[in-house]
Every structure is written in C-alpha cells, then in structure tokens.
Structure 1
Amino acid sequence: MGSKARLLAASLLLACGAVPAQEPAAPSVVVRNTRDPVDKSYRKMLSGIARFERDHALAPGATLRFRLLPRTATVDMKGIELKVVGDTASMTVPIAQDNSFTLARNDVLLREDAALIANRRTSSMTWRAEVRSPGVPDGMRRLGDLRLECLVGIDAGLVSNNAQLFRWLGELFTNADRVCGDPDGNYLFFTERPVFAVIAQHGERRETMPFRMTYANGGPPASELPYCDCQVLLDRSYFAPIWDRSWPDDTLLSFEYMDDPPQPDAAPSSREEARAALGPPLKELRFDRGYEIWLYEWPPARKLPPGQDKRPQIAEQVLLFDSDGSTRKTRRREP
C-alpha cells in the first residue's frame, strides 16, 4: 500500500474509529474479569499520562482526566463501573458523575499488562482525554489543551477499538506527533451540545473554521457512521487546527450552537426559499434532533493560494433549518 493511501486510511480511522462489535439489547451490570480485545490497555493509558507530563508546557497548570462518551444511541451512560484487571490483581477505578476518571499507577498491574474494563461493551463508548487549563472562559477551549489532548489520546490508544484489525497501519496510526501535527490527522473533539460553528481567536485574528472541520469532515456517509467514534455524536464533533502552528497555544475556540436563539430575519427564510434562490446544496445533513444543515460552496472573490493545510480556499454558506423547514441560522465564510 502506498504512503498516500496509508495516510488516507489512517485519517479515516482516526475520524471514524474501528468496527464496533454487535451491542447487546441490554448492557451487563457486572464488570467482567476476563479480557476482551477491545478493552483499553492500562499500559497504554499510563503512556498517555506520561505524555501529558512530558508535554505539559502546551498547557501549563492544566489537569488531565479521561472521559467516556456514548457511541451508540442505546448505551446507558448511567452507573458505569470501571476496573483494571490483570492476571493476579485488579483495581477499581472511581468514576465521576460526568463519566470522567483518572488512573493511579499500580506496578503489578503494569507488569501484567492489565486491561481497563467497563461494565459496558467498550466499543459502545467513545474514550477521550480531557485537558483543562485554569482561567479558560466557560464554554471555550484553549488550543494548547486540545493539542495535548490529541497527543495523550493517541499515546493512550483511545481511538482504535480493535488494534488487531488495524495492526497493518503501524506507526502511521499510532505515532501521536504525526497524527496531531498533520492536517489529515483528523483527531475528533466533541462539544457539549450540537454545534453550528467553531470560531478560533487570538488577539485581533478571528476565523470561523470551514464546514469540513465540523461533523467528522462534513458528515460521513450513513453507511460509515456505525464505524465512527462520532456515531451518535455527529452533531457535536469537530476538528481543531491543532496542526497549524500559526495559531498559538493560547488561541481560544468558541462555539455557536444549533440550539442557541435563532437569528432574526434569517435569509433565505426556509428550505424552499433557499432552494429557489441558491439551487440544490452541495451537501445536506439531517440530524436525529430534527435539525438539518445545507452547504453551498463557490470560488473566492479573488484568486488565493492554498491554505495552511494545502487545500484550495473556498467560499461557503451554511444554513441551519428547524424541523419545520424554517431557517434557524445562516453563516457565510469568505477565505
């Protein structure tokens, strides 16, 4: 397989995770004492913690926790239990109400290459590192925190749910510096609510991220969603410009959410009016909560070189519709 094809495959897998196993009708409430190929490696997760300590300069004063998020609509995220299980020893992991946790070091479990086991099927949940610096305004994220989250997440093995299946990817899939430093790395982050726009700001520079950096690269085909970390979180997923060093670590990301108050006098005012005025959209996305998004693109007003990610710079308009077809929000982006 050529290097370009391997890079494309790695990007897809980072955005979409590995193939989940069939989920049972009702999750077990007993923490298993046997290992499963998709359980998380305790050794790898401690490697992620070591990476956090090594690259703490990206987020001085920040704290690290791990967090569980739902991957499928049917998984019950209440009452989750976690346990580190080795050959001769085990350790209970306290989990907070928001399903976040930390990991203590245990040398016996480390030597035994123990597994972190949940009383839910591991592939029914998305696992992420969460790095938080003090002083960041509520509802915003600091870019250095997200850079460190990516490095920790890759080193901790949080993305791949079946390492055996994708072993052939080798270093391309597991090298955190390569994944987090490449515009095609596609490490997914998640907001707390359905997101409409992601805005980066540092000093006087302010830029809305392009549509492709939301909804797992603009929305994967429905046939691929069962394999995506974002399966039930598609409307909350985004990519951050962690690879783009022209944005310093102190850059702040803010978010406009779908359920924020609608724009007054949004035009066009409805799906029908948008189609009549603008024609068929390039892309349509429908979400479980009833919202629908349309994307239009056109060449920029003046000829521009490729962007920092080497992609062509494109002008775009994004429209958000309510379930009744009325326009809730609209935004235009000129590069």
Structure 2
Amino acid sequence: MHITLPLILLLSVSSSVMAQSDTEQPPPVPTQQVTVAGSRDPDWKPYRKMLDGIDAFDHYHSLAPQAQLKFILRPQQPRLTASDLKLRIVGDTVNIEVPIAADLTFSVPRDESAAKDDADLRLSTKKGLFRWRPDIHTAGIPVGTRRLGDLRLECEVRWAVDKFDASLIKLAYLVPLGGVCHTSRSRVFYSSDAPITGATLVSGSRRERLPAERLDAKDRARYAPPLHDQSWPDDTLVEFEFAMPNDATAADTVKN
C-alpha cells in the first residue's frame, strides 16, 4: 500500500511472465500484476473505516510487536504549512479533537459513540493538500533503514481501511490471493525519507538488492518491498542508498 482520508487503492493491471521451475521453461503464461499507489482524489475516510485499520493493527501486531500505531500526514505540495491544521472526528452528536504532533503524526482513538454516530475524520484544509499513511516504527532500527515487519503491518492497516473502496472486479481478483499484502502479484509502494538510488534487503548474512521494477522510476523516493515473501523474516531490514543531496530534481519530489 498507502487518510476524507486519502487512501483509495489504485490498481493497474499489466502483463508479466512467470516460470514454473528453475530448470524447465514452459511457454509464457500471462498473469496479472497489481500495483498499489495513493489515491489521486484523496478524501478523508469515515471513522468506522479507520477503526477497521485499528482492528487490523491489533490482529497483525505480531509483525511488529514493539511498535505502536500512528498515522502521518504527508503534504502534497512543496512548502505547505501545517502549523494551523486541525483534525477532528465529527458526527451529528460527537466532535472530538485529534491532536497532530509536530512531526505530523497522530493517533486515532477508539470511541463507541463516534462509531454509532457514523462520524467522519475531517482535516481543516482543502482536499488533496495532505494525504495520510500508517506510520509504524519499531524503536532502535538503524537510521536509513526500514524494518520489513513494520512495512507489512502498515500494509495490513492500509488494506483494511481501503479494501471496501476497491471495485468488485478488483476485490474478486485480490481477495482470493489474500489481499495486496500477501501475494507476489501486487506491489505496494512506500515512500522513503529522501530520494534513493537503490534499496537492499538484509537478513543476517543474506543480502539482496531490490530489482528495478520495485523502484518507482518517476518518483525516486518510492520503493515496493516483497511483503509476500516469507523467506525474508519480519526483522529483515531494507537498507537505502540515498541520492546525492545536490540532485535537485529528486529532492523536490512530492511523496505519496
């Protein structure tokens, strides 16, 4: 994956070829490749859908047992100010302020009255200026890396919130595969803190560089780790190779 909250899944289908074994190469078999990106029309989500994300975090918490669930706002234009932003859970009978921290992170509280009131999360700005993402980080991870289990848990939260916004056709394709977080036919893109030139999976002595198709050629701060591949344990680190700081084009990239 991946706040109205802006996280409708955009699923684009392309052709790919899969080999059935290392030694035998049968004729190419067409399969579908699903790419998960941010919404181009980001509206804030109903509060009940955010609760689905919280439930998913609790269910899959073993992926990152030492981490807490936070969300983060990502500005979609350069030099946007967030100092006066206000986030609230608003319904007919409820009006609950959700504090936004200095680093633009926030936590969504559980509130039974807001769920019954069919409330919404509302941000005090025009639509499309900020998007949200789950922001899950295990403490003690080295700078310039991400932990794979944290990314897997972020995906579960995103999928839980957004899956009911996907079309029936897309759901019919994705659900039997376990959703976007559990299939080799999906690529869930994440944003790094700065533009990157590459990324490497590291688990003990095993190292493997992400292939080019798992790096976004247009947005150099985006990458798609193999969430589905259980040969990489949750404690696997994704090590980034950051672009040179004088690369102005990459530095001005707006992250999703």
TM normalised by structure 1 equals 0.60
Residue 30 (structure 2) aligns with: none
- Measure how far apart 1:172 and its partner are: 4.9
Matches within 5 A, 1:238-257: 238-257=223-242
1:128 paired residue among 124, 127, 133: 133
Residue 197 (structure 2) aligns with: 196
**1:11 matches 2:11:** no
CA distance in 2 between counterparts of 1:88 and 1:72 reads 34
Cα contact 2:187–2:226 (8 A) shared by 1:
no
In 2 relative to 1, CA 186–72 (structure 1 residues): closer, same or farther, beyond 3 Å?
Answer: farther
Residue 41 (structure 2) aligns with: 20
Cα contact 1:197–1:256 (8 A) shared by 2:
yes
Cα contact 2:195–2:250 (8 A) shared by 1:
no
Structure 2 gap ranges (5+): 1-10, 15-32
Instruction: Report the RMSD for the aligned CA atoms in angstroms.
Output: 2.9
Amino acid at match of 1:118: L
In 2 relative to 1, CA 182–250 (structure 1 residues): closer, same or farther, beyond 3 Å?
Answer: same
In 2 relative to 1, CA 71–186 (structure 1 residues): closer, same or farther, beyond 3 Å?
Answer: farther
Amino acid at match of 2:131: T
Amino acid at match of 1:19: R
Cα contact 1:151–1:177 (8 A) shared by 2:
no
CA distance in 2 between counterparts of 1:178 and 1:261 reads 39
Residue 309 (structure 1) aligns with: none
Structure 1 gap ranges (5+): 1-5, 22-37, 220-233, 263-285, 292-335
Amino acid at match of 1:252: L
Cα contact 1:80–1:99 (8 A) shared by 2:
no
Amino acid at match of 1:257: F
Matches within 5 A, 1:159-308: 163=165, 167-169=167-169, 171-172=171-172, 175=175, 177-215=178-216, 218-219=217-218, 234-259=219-244, 287=249, 289=251
CA distance in 1 between counterparts of 2:157 and 2:226 reads 17
In 2 relative to 1, CA 172–250 (structure 1 residues): closer, same or farther, beyond 3 Å?
Answer: farther
Structure 2 residue matching 1:128: 3-state secondary structure: strand
- Measure how far apart 1:288 and its partner are: 5.5
Identity %: 32
Matches within 5 A, 1:45-124: 45-73=50-78, 75-124=80-129
In 2 relative to 1, CA 118–100 (structure 1 residues): closer, same or farther, beyond 3 Å?
Answer: same
In 2 relative to 1, CA 168–121 (structure 1 residues): closer, same or farther, beyond 3 Å?
Answer: farther
Count the aligned residue pairs.
224
Structure 2 residue matching 1:45: 3-state secondary structure: helix
In 2 relative to 1, CA 94–245 (structure 1 residues): closer, same or farther, beyond 3 Å?
Answer: same
Bigger CA radius of gyration: 1
How far does the alpha carbon of each residue in 1:50-84 deviate from its partner, in whole angstroms, 9 at most, with x for none? 11111111111111100111223474444321111
- Measure how far apart 1:7 and its partner are: 7.0
Higher helix share: 1
- Greater relative contact order, per chain length (Cα 8 Å cut-off, separation 6+): 2
CA distance in 1 between counterparts of 2:212 and 2:63 reads 27
Residue 320 (structure 1) aligns with: none
- Measure how far apart 1:170 and its partner are: 5.5
Q: 73-82 vs 179-188, which deviates more?
A: 73-82
Residue 44 (structure 1) aligns with: 49
CA distance in 1 between counterparts of 2:214 and 2:83 reads 30
TM normalised by structure 2 equals 0.77
CA distance in 1 between counterparts of 2:104 and 2:174 reads 25
Cα contact 2:199–2:210 (8 A) shared by 1:
yes
Cα contact 1:187–1:239 (8 A) shared by 2:
yes
